[in-house]
Amino acid sequence: MGQRRVAVTGLGIVSPFGTDLEDYFARLCRGESAIRFYSTDIPRPLALPAVHCDSFDGGAQLGRGLAHTMDRCSQLGATAAFAAWRDAGFADDGATTLPHRNGGVAWGTALGGTLTFEQGYRDLYMLGRERVSPLSVVLGMNNAAASHISIQRKLPGPCHTYTIACASAAVAIGEAFHRIRRGESDLMITGGSDCPLGYGVVRAWEALRVVAPGDEASSYRACRPFSVDRTGLVLGEGAAALILEDWDHAQARRARIYAEMVGYGTTSDHSHLVKPEAEGQVRAIHAALADGNLDPAHIGYINAHGTATREGDPTEIAALRTVFGAHAEHLPVSATKSMHGHLMGATGAVEALVTTMALARGTIPPTAHLDTIDPECSGVRHVTTGSGALPAPEAALSNSFAFGGTNAVLAFRRAS
């Protein structure tokens, strides 16, 4: 059997803007930031710019009984996955026209049920209790979200969870794509979810001195990738999901196809746990282009990893300049983390969704708050809120580069 084509037939999002996909994308295209000043007193005072889904109610979305068996990370993930499932035209009861013998789940999360374990520590060490919730293990395990999705949508194929820092969801999507292309599955629910706003997690990131500061007035623009005055990343929670499906089956059931996924490249820097290297990113981009049979000149948009760190941003731009050469100066690049923050293991899914929507709608969202480009980040066509209309891209890449040195690049093409 030759390689099969892979369609993106469903998309789902959970964000501070809600779960409406078209509204979410429209807000990003306007440069609207979901970053706010977030504060809590549990277990001790904490205040910082962050992306928090204030209005999200897992019980309302999933039913109280099911939500009770899930950590917040799984609630967010299942909500996004089920939204994508419905968006693809499938029924909530799991009944579809697709052979269920090989449908599966590939999910990404960096932190999984960290909030559950943090609650356990508070119960034991702060409140002096002798035991934790008997549901702690099943709530907190990293594969819980994928398992719930598989069970609720009756998918007996592979159910895999990928934990690779901020490349988790991108790798999950790439592996799901390859599985369908090889003919091993007809459909995969894929994406990622994360909740990195637990007290211990936030304090750990602050200790690295890479978290952007801010207050009530300034937090909305705290994340400024590629800007000369950037001060660091902004943590966020949320989830995104994609339905990847065999192209022929999608066409046979007359499914709406957002885009075609055509390539996936992944490499390791194999040099340092937290210092990115352009050479490893270059190899991942080349691998994705080769996998998708794409010439660099075919690419009309790149959703950059762009975390707004001093070291990471110029490294990524250097990699783009190396791969795209003279084309780089005309290549539209944006970092939507400037608006949706860094959702850790879920970020690759959010950015893959945004990239898919950019192809489907012919509109490229900007890097918000990019007023003065750092000279070290020059050499590409940065898309800002003042860039005006750009040519609709025919093909696009989504970059995810993780601590630990894993690089993952996803390639998509406009549906035709």
pLDDT for residue 136 is more than 70: yes
pLDDT recorded at residue 388: 76
Whether the bond between 43 and the residue before it is cis, its omega within 30 degrees of 0, is: yes
Quick check: 258 pLDDT over 70? yes
pTM over 0.85: yes
User: What pLDDT shows up at residue 284?
Assistant: 98
pLDDT of 91-110, one tens digit each? 886 555 555 568 999 999 99
Q: Is 342 a catalytic residue?
A: yes
CATH hierarchy code of domain 6-259: 3.40.47.10
| Neighbouring residues of 22: CB distance < 8 A, sequence distance ≥ 6 | none
Q: What are the φ and ψ backbone dihedral angles of 100, each rounded to 5 degrees?
A: -85, -5
Report the pLDDT value the prediction gives residue 95, as an integer from 0 to 100.
53
Phi-psi region of 162 (alpha: psi -120 to 50; beta: other; left: phi over 0): beta
Q: What is the pLDDT of residue 108?
A: 98
Average pLDDT over every residue of 221-238: 98
Cα 166 to Cα 158, 219, 331: the distances in Å are 22, 22, 24
pLDDT of residue 74: 98
- Band (pLDDT 50/70/90 cuts) for residue 67 is very high
Give the pLDDT confidence of 10-25 residue by residue, as tens digits.
999 999 999 999 999 9
pLDDT attached to residue 92 = 82
Cα–Cα distances in Å, from 158 out to 1, 102, 176, 260, 400? 20, 7, 10, 22, 23
Per the residue annotation, which of 29, 159, 166, 377 is the catalytic one?
A: 166
Question: pLDDT tens digit string along 161-207?
Answer: 999 999 999 999 999 999 999 999 999 999 999 999 999 999 999 99
What per-residue confidence (pLDDT) applies to 168?
98
Instruction: Note if 53 is an active site residue.
Output: no
> Which listed residue (52, 342, 369, 382) is catalytic?
342
Nearest to 331 by CA among 341, 342, 322, 340: 322
> pLDDT-derived band of residue 299, with 50, 70 and 90 as boundaries?
very high
Domain ranges across the chain: 6-259, 263-414
Task: Tell me, yes or no, if 305 is annotated catalytic.
Answer: yes
Q: What are the DSSP E strand ranges found in 247-385?
A: 259-268, 301-303, 332-334, 381-382
Q: Catalytic pick from 305, 340, 369, 382? A: 305
pLDDT score recorded for residue 94: 53
Fold of 263-414: Peroxisomal Thiolase; Chain A, domain 1 (3.40.47)
For residue 230, pLDDT over 90 is answered with yes
Question: Fold identical between 6-259 and 263-414?
Answer: yes
Q: Which two tokens stand for residue 46?
A: 């904490």
Whole-number pLDDT of residue 389: 80
| Residue 303 in this model has a pLDDT that exceeds 90 | yes
Q: How far apart are CA 220 and CA 107, in angstroms?
A: 29
pLDDT surpasses 80 at 1: no
